[in-house]
Amino acid sequence: MNRISSARVHATARQHGAMDHSTPPCDLDEVRRYRLGRIRSALVERDLAGIILYDQLNTRYAVDSTNMQIWSLHNEVRYVYVPAEGPVVLFEFGGKNLLGAGISTIDEIRPAIAFFYFGAGSRQAEQARKWAAEMDSLIREHNGGNRRIAIDRIAPQGVFELQRLGYEIFDGFEVMENAREIKSAGEIALMRQSIAVCEQAIGQMREAMRPGITENALWAELHHGNIAGGGEWIETRLLSSGPRTNPWFRECSMRVIERGDMVSFDTDLVGPYGYCCDISRSWVCDAKPNDEQRRIYADAHAHIQHDKALLKPGLSFRELTERLLPLGDEFVKGRYGVAMHGVGLCDEYPAIRYPQDWDAVGYDGVFKEGMVMCVEALAAPAGGREAVKLEEQVLITANGFEQLSTYPMEESWL
């Protein structure tokens, strides 16, 4: 297949509101200070001396420095220590000051001590003791005798060694998910830039979609547009076509898309500056939708419109769950895992369940101004050939919500 012309790509970008991505749309240092302040406040509220961060999304939030982010997610080679008071230390892979230099929220960069098995092998216990000794020395400099520490993700040996030194360990994800839930104006500006890049790439996908293209080749258009626009990576491969859309959650394959197929996808895209654009769309390839495709599309669209309109500060998670547009009987079995979820650098707290799932996994809380939510809808009829997946990204404001995603739905199908 011939690639679409540069002129057509640029026309699509203009149509969907693409921005100039060469410069940040806000003061990055202001965003960094805000995020670090949110972490420190969460530590103080919980009477924690500090937090050790290995999860690369949490380290990004804390200090805005990345290094081989995907590789570092499954190899514990870099970490950050954030104290409630005192200097923030980035422990960098190889100890090189290449990617963290000049970032105002990093006070010091040290070489990381790796004790995961691939790196340490039979010396794992020895390296873990060295790691714990260094962390103990650093923590004690400013902890005022407080030996309560949070950790988000680490090999068990690290926990054992800190406990041996007298530390009480707490869940770092609970700290970080709550710290990350309220976005600053600068964060929203960065998120809008990520959405613009994502929607430009979606336009490239739409231009490339025609009978004969494989699901993988179509999905590659999203990756291409994201990287070319300054984005970073995509968390999933959630694109499927025709009978592979129902049930949902088959990832893209070498299946050739045929004329008249429903093509449904979920972006899960991490764009410029690390912010996520998580939206879903469903199209029909090179044909008008048939009656069944229109019907299930209308069902998913109705859920999106109804459910996002419920959002406002002060509403509890349980109250929203009870007010969701009820699922038709044919859609209950194939329902999506959540009705909506938070989003920032990735999918985040909270996860809002359907009423059918409340007793098993639901939890309560309160929506707040400054949260960003992704509102989900999956219409996958039991025994049906195809499914429609739709999703919008919205900001909770003082008076309700503002929709951040702008790529159009198929209104003519309704």
Q: Where in the chain is the domain with CATH 3.40.350.10?
A: 46-180
Is residue 5 predicted with pLDDT exceeding 50?
no
Domain 46-180: CATH superfamily, name plus number: Creatinase/prolidase N-terminal domain (3.40.350.10)
- Which CATH code of 3.30.750.24, 3.10.690.10, 2.40.50.100, 3.90.230.10 fits the domain covering 185-413? 3.90.230.10
Least confident of 138-142, 318-322, 369-373: 138-142
Q: What is the mean pLDDT of the chain?
A: 93
More confident: 24 or 320:
320
pLDDT band at 18 (very low <50, low <70, confident <90, very high): very low
Is residue 157 predicted with pLDDT exceeding 70?
yes
How far apart, in whole angstroms, are the C-alpha atoms of residue 179 and residue 330?
39
- By DSSP bridging, strand 50-53 and strand 148-151 are parallel
Segment 239-254, tens digit of pLDDT: 999 999 999 999 999 9
Segment 98-114, tens digit of pLDDT: 677 778 899 999 999 99
Q: Where in the chain is the domain with CATH 3.90.230.10?
A: 185-413
Is residue 122 predicted with pLDDT exceeding 70?
yes
| Tokens (6 digits) for 333 | 């079995």
**What does residue 393 show for φ and ψ, rounded to 5 degrees?**
-110, 125
Segment 254-296, tens digit of pLDDT: 999 999 999 999 999 999 999 999 999 999 999 999 999 999 9
How far apart, in whole angstroms, are the C-alpha atoms of residue 231 and residue 234?
9
Residues in contact with 97: Cβ distance below 8 Å, sequence separation at least 6, in sequence order:
109
Q: Please tell me the predicted confidence (pLDDT) of residue 6.
A: 34
Tokens 């960094």 correspond to 32
Q: Please tell me the predicted confidence (pLDDT) of residue 363.
A: 97
Segment 176-206, tens digit of pLDDT: 999 999 999 999 999 999 999 999 999 999 9
In terms of Cα–Cα distance, which of 344, 411, 347, 402 is closest to 376? Answer: 347
Tell me the pTM.
Answer: 0.92
Q: Please tell me the predicted confidence (pLDDT) of residue 117.
A: 78
Residues in contact with 28: Cβ distance below 8 Å, sequence separation at least 6, in sequence order:
64, 186, 273
Is residue 17 predicted with pLDDT exceeding 50?
no
Q: Please tell me the predicted confidence (pLDDT) of residue 299.
A: 98
How far apart, in whole angstroms, are the C-alpha atoms of residue 150 and residue 167?
10
Report the pLDDT averaged over residues 124-140.
94
Q: Please tell me the predicted confidence (pLDDT) of residue 1.
A: 31
**What does residue 382 show for φ and ψ, rounded to 5 degrees?**
-60, 125
Q: Please tell me the predicted confidence (pLDDT) of residue 22.
A: 67
Burial classification of residue 309, based on how many CB atoms lie within 10 Å of its CB (0-12 exposed, 13-18 middle, 19 or more buried)? middle
Q: Please tell me the predicted confidence (pLDDT) of residue 21.
A: 61
Is residue 298 predicted with pLDDT exceeding 80?
yes
pLDDT band at 20 (very low <50, low <70, confident <90, very high): low
Strand partners, 375: 340, 392
Q: Which long-range contacts (CB under 8 A, 24 or more apart) does 317-323 make?
A: 317/350, 317/352, 317/362, 317/363, 317/364, 317/365, 317/366, 317/367, 318/358, 318/362, 318/364, 320/352, 320/367, 321/352, 321/353, 321/354, 321/355, 321/358, 321/362, 322/355
In terms of Cα–Cα distance, which of 385, 106, 346, 400 is closest to 235? Answer: 346
Report the pLDDT averaged over residues 29-37.
97
| Tokens (6 digits) for 197 | 């890049």
Strand partners, 390: 377
Q: Please tell me the predicted confidence (pLDDT) of residue 70.
A: 85
Tell me the CB-side half-sphere exposure of residue 250, using CA atoms within 13 A: 19
How far apart, in whole angstroms, are the C-alpha atoms of residue 205 and residue 217?
9
Q: Could you tell me if 102 and 121 are in contact, meaning their C-beta atoms sit under 8 angstroms apart? A: no
Report the pLDDT averaged over residues 292-306.
98
